[in-house]
Amino acid sequence: MQIAIYNALILLFALGCAPKLIGDWWRGKKGPSLLERLGIEIPDTKGRSVIWIHAVSVGETKAAQPLFLRLKKEFPEAFFLVTHATWTGREEAKRSLGLADAFAFLPLDFSWIMRRWVKRLRPTYFVLVEGDFWVNQLSALKRGGAKIVLASGKISERSARRFGFVSFFAKRLFGLVDLFCVQSEEHAARFAPFVREVYVAGNLKFDVEPQEIEEGKFLKRGEREVITIACTHDPEEKLLLEVLEPMFSRLTIFLAPRHPERFDAVEKLLVEKKISFVRLSQLQHTAGKETVILVDAMGRLPFCYANSRLAFVGGSFTDRIGGHNVLEPCLYGCPSLFGPYMQGQRELTSHLLRAGAGRQIAAHEALSTLELFFSDPAFLVEMKQGSNRLFSQGRGSAEKTISLMREKRIWQ
């Protein structure tokens, strides 16, 4: 009865998704098509042993990289499939997990779709990064003999409370997972009522290695200070640009909206506000006096951070999002500034502030904070040192996860 109700809910979800998928296709917005969501095409593994990694979007995909590389080393002959739920996640997977054999959107969680996928793929291991539990998928994997591992797992207080109202369902769902490796004691406590064993293995984001930045591409902007405003959502661009306007003559700003479909809307905003700008893709054709460089391609944030004195990380100056990964700028020696709305990233916020690698500020404090940092270089030096402490103390999650997989006999 429970599964019948669940399948009915998935059907309603699919029917609800159909108009959006069709509308996105009509507007030219990139994303999974309805056929992809129905799982029509299944990667050809050519008979090789399959390791299936699922990372929902950009953040989870970047976090998956260190564990993926360790698994690739352990199983060099295996076929690695990476699935995701967003187009940006897929594009990031091709960069961060480029050694994988196939990339695909996760199909809708209908039992008949998942049975067909598992029967064709016959995965040996399924690694779920951070979260995104689907009962038909996990049930099909379990029946197919796959070992299921949650890596760098997390669950919000709100989600744990909701699962508590249907604990019988939560216990059945989470009981399908063979190994729970979570980010912290806090997340372990939230999972504890529903699972037999849960292990704290740390956050994979601390294990991510910096990308190599192209030689000779460091920006020379005269007397201007270079900063990055990254991962922004509406109306964060407008909010921060208005606050920082008195410093425009001293700044070059990398402005990187979180979603590519907003590039044109942000360009329109810059035109309306008469802010001089150039798209990053056209940077080599300009004189270098623009106030804003609009980052109009995914995967360019490492370049921006490596070329900036500090970064504002968006998704935190609006209460609708809950924050993004504030560690990534620190990976490139670029301290993080972020807003008050970090409810989705509390653990990262705590680690970063404790290490002194960044600051949490209100939007109206952006200008005074920049003036303080640029007038006293000791602040930036101290925060860069904090970044080094941050990563040296937090690394080891991938290795701990691998060790637990061995210890708990997940290897076959």
State yes or no: is 60 an active-site residue.
Answer: yes
- Alpha carbon distances (Å) from 311 to 145, 195, 285, 377: 46, 39, 25, 15
Cβ-Cβ contacts under 8 Å for 138 (sequence gap 6 or more) = 126, 148, 173, 176, 177
Q: How far apart are CA 407 and CA 178, in angstroms?
A: 12
Q: 225 and 291 in contact (C-beta within 8 Å)?
A: no
Q: How many residues would you count in the chain?
A: 412
398 three-class SS: helix
Q: How far apart are CA 326 and CA 313, in angstroms?
A: 6
Q: 154 and 131 in contact (C-beta within 8 Å)?
A: yes
Q: 39 and 107 in contact (C-beta within 8 Å)?
A: yes
Choose the catalytic residue: 36, 41, 60, 209.
60
401 three-class SS: helix
Q: How far apart are CA 130 and CA 164, in angstroms?
A: 19
* Catalytically active residues, by annotation: 60
